[in-house]
C-alpha cells in the first residue's frame, strides 16, 4: 500500500516525538511491505514566528494532498499570552474545522505494569479500557462570543444542532458495537437547555442501535465515577468542552499524559492524529519526552485512515511488550526504575516490530 502522511511537528517536544513515530511508521512499512511518503509543514508557535499565522495557507494546501496528518504539539511559554491576537492553538482549531474533523477519539487504557504511577489504587484500575468520543468542531469552543468582553462582561456560547449531535452519537454507538456494547452519554441536562437537546437527540439515535446499552451521566457525576469506578465505562460520548476536560482527567489512569493518543476524524478516511499531551517546553530538546502517545497515535492512523488493522495491532502490541519488559521514560520511573530516553524507548519498540510476520507471538 502507498500513502502520503503529512507531519506537523509543532512546538516544544513535538518535533522529538513526531520523529520517533515516523521511525515506527517506517519500520511498519518495511515489515509489511508498504510505501509511505512524508512531507513536513508548520503549525502553532513556530509557524507564527515565521509567517505571522498559526496555520499558514501552505500547511492547509499540503494537508489537502495527504491521506493522514500526524501532529506533535503546539504552544509554549513564548506564545502563552491568552489575549494575543494570534495564538498557537488557533491553528489547531482551524485545522479541525477546515477538514470537518468532528469526532475526536481518545482511548484510555490502564497498563498493569504502570499501575504504581497512577494516583488510584491498583484494584480500581483493573479492566480500565475506555474510549472517549468527543465532539470536536461545535459547542462552546466555536460558539458566538465577546472575545475581549463588553466592559466588565464577557460570554462564550455553547450551541449544538440536532444534526451535529446525531453524527457524533452515531460514531460513539458504532464504536460501542465493536467494543463491549456500552455507551455513557455525558451532559448537564438538569441545567442547560443545549444539553437537553443533546440528551433527546442521543435517545433518538439509540433506537438504531438496540444492541448497545445506553446510559446518561451528568458531567459532574461522570468526573466522580472516573476516579471511583473507571472500569464501569466502555465508550464515553461527550460534547467539546466536557469531553476535553473528562478525557484529560482520565489520562492519569494510564500513569502519564505521555501515554495517550488521539484521532480526529470526519466521515472520510482522512484524519489528524496527535498525542493528548502539550508541548512541554521545559523538557524540549533533552531526549527525555515519552513518545508513547505519538507512537500510539501513529497506530490509530494506520487503523482509521489507512484501514490497516494488523499493522496497528503490531504497533500496539510492541508498546505493550516494551512496557511489560520494564522500559520506562522519565515520566514513568518509580524508585526501582531507571529511565531511558525518547530515542532509546523507540528503539525498544522497533526491536519488537522487526520480528518477521510469521514469528510474531
pLDDT at 108: 96
Statement: the pTM of the whole predicted model exceeds 0.85: yes
| Mean pLDDT confidence for 324-347 | 91
For the question of residue 152 being annotated catalytic, the response is no
> Of 267-276, 292-301, 326-335, 338-347, which gets the smallest average pLDDT?
326-335
Q: What's the first-to-final CA gap in the chain, in angstroms?
A: 24
117 and 81 Cβ atoms separated by less than 8 Å: no
Residue 119: pLDDT band (50, 70, 90) is: confident
Q: Which of 67, 187, 234, 244 is catalytic?
A: 244
For the question of residue 49 being annotated catalytic, the response is no
355 contacts: CB under 8 Å, gap ≥ 6: none
Beta strands in 157-212 (DSSP E): 182-187
139: left (phi over 0), alpha (psi -120 to 50) or beta: left
> How many helices and strands, by DSSP H and E, does the chain display?
11, 10
Residue 148 has pLDDT above 70, yes or no: no
Residue 80 has pLDDT above 50, yes or no: yes
| Mean pLDDT confidence for 53-71 | 98
Q: Which of 49, 208, 220, 309 is catalytic?
A: 220
2 contacts: CB under 8 Å, gap ≥ 6: 34, 35, 36, 37
Domains of the chain: 1-104+259-361 (3.40.718.10), 119-145+154-254 (3.40.718.10)
Q: Which of 109, 111, 188, 331 is catalytic?
A: 188
- Find, among 175, 176, 334, 345, the residue nearest to 259 by Cα: 345
State the average pLDDT for the chain. 94
For the question of residue 248 being annotated catalytic, the response is yes
Q: Which of 248, 317, 320, 337 is catalytic?
A: 248
Determine the Cα–Cα distance for residues 287 and 194; give it in Å rounded to an integer. Answer: 45
328-350 in b/e form (b: 16+ CB < 10 A) is bbbbbeeeeeeebbbeebbebbb
Query: Coil, strand or helix: which one is 316?
Result: helix
| Mean pLDDT confidence for 137-161 | 86
- CB atoms under 10 Å from CB of 121, counted, come to 9
Q: Which of 141, 160, 209, 273 is catalytic?
A: 141
For the question of residue 220 being annotated catalytic, the response is yes
For the question of residue 188 being annotated catalytic, the response is yes
Amino acid at each position: 500500500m502507498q500513502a502520503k502522511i503529512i507531519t506537523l511537528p509543532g512546538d516544544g517536544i513535538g518535533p522529538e516525538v513526531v520523529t520517533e513515530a515516523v521511525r515506527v511508521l517506517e519500520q511498519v512499512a518495511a515489515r509489511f511491505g508498504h510505501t509511505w511518503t512524508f512531507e513536513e509543514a508548520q503549525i502553532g508557535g513556530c509557524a507564527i514566528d515565521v509567517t505571522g499565522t498559526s496555520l499558514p495557507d501552505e500547511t492547509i494546501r499540503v494537508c489537502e494532498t495527504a491521506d493522514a496528518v500526524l501532529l506533535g504539539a503546539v504552544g509554549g511559554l513564548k506564545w502563552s499570552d491568552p489575549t494575543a491576537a494570534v495564538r498557537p492553538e488557533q491553528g489547531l482549531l482551524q485545522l479541525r474545522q477546515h477538514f470537518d474533523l468532528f469526532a475526536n477519539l481518545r482511548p484510555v487504557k490502564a497498563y498493569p505494569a504502570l499501575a504504581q504511577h497512577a494516583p488510584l489504587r491498583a484494584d480500581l484500575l483493573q479492566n480500565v479500557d475506555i474510549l472517549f468520543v468527543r465532539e470536536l468542531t461545535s459547542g462552546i469552543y466555536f460558539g458566538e462570543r465577546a472575545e475581549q468582553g463588553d466592559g466588565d462582561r464577557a460570554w462564550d456560547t455553547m450551541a449544538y444542532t440536532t444534526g451535529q449531535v446525531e453524527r457524533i452519537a452515531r460514531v460513539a454507538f458504532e464504536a460501542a458495537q465493536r467494543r463491549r456494547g456500552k455507551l455513557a452519554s455525558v451532559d448537564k441536562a438538569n441545567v442547560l437547555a443545549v444539553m437537553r437537546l443533546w440528551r433527546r437527540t442521543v435517545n433518538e439515535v439509540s433506537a438504531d442501535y438496540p444492541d448497545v446499552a445506553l446510559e446518561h451521566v451528568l458531567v459532574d457525576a461522570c468526573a466522580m465515577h472516573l476516579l471511583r469506578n473507571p472500569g464501569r465505562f466502555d465508550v464515553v460520548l461527550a460534547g467539546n468542552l466536557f469531553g476535553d476536560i473528562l478525557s484529560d482527567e482520565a489520562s492519569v489512569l494510564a500513569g502519564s499524559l505521555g501515554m495517550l493518543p488521539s484521532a480526529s476524524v470526519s466521515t472520510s478516511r482522512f484524519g489528524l492524529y496527535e498525542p493528548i499531551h502539550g508541548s512541554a517546553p521545559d523538557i524540549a530538546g533533552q531526549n527525555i519526552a515519552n513518545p508513547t502517545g505519538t507512537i500510539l497515535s501513529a497506530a490509530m492512523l494506520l487503523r482509521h485512515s489507512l484501514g490497516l488493522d494488523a499493522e496497528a495491532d503490531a504497533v500496539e502490541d510492541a508498546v505493550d511488550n516494551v512496557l511489560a519488559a520494564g522500559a520506562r521514560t522519565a515520566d514513568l520511573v518509580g524508585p526501582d526504575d531507571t529511565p531511558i530516553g525518547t530515542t532509546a524507548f523507540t528503539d525498544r519498540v522497533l526491536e519488537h516490530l522487526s520480528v518477521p510476520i510469521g514469528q510474531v507471538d
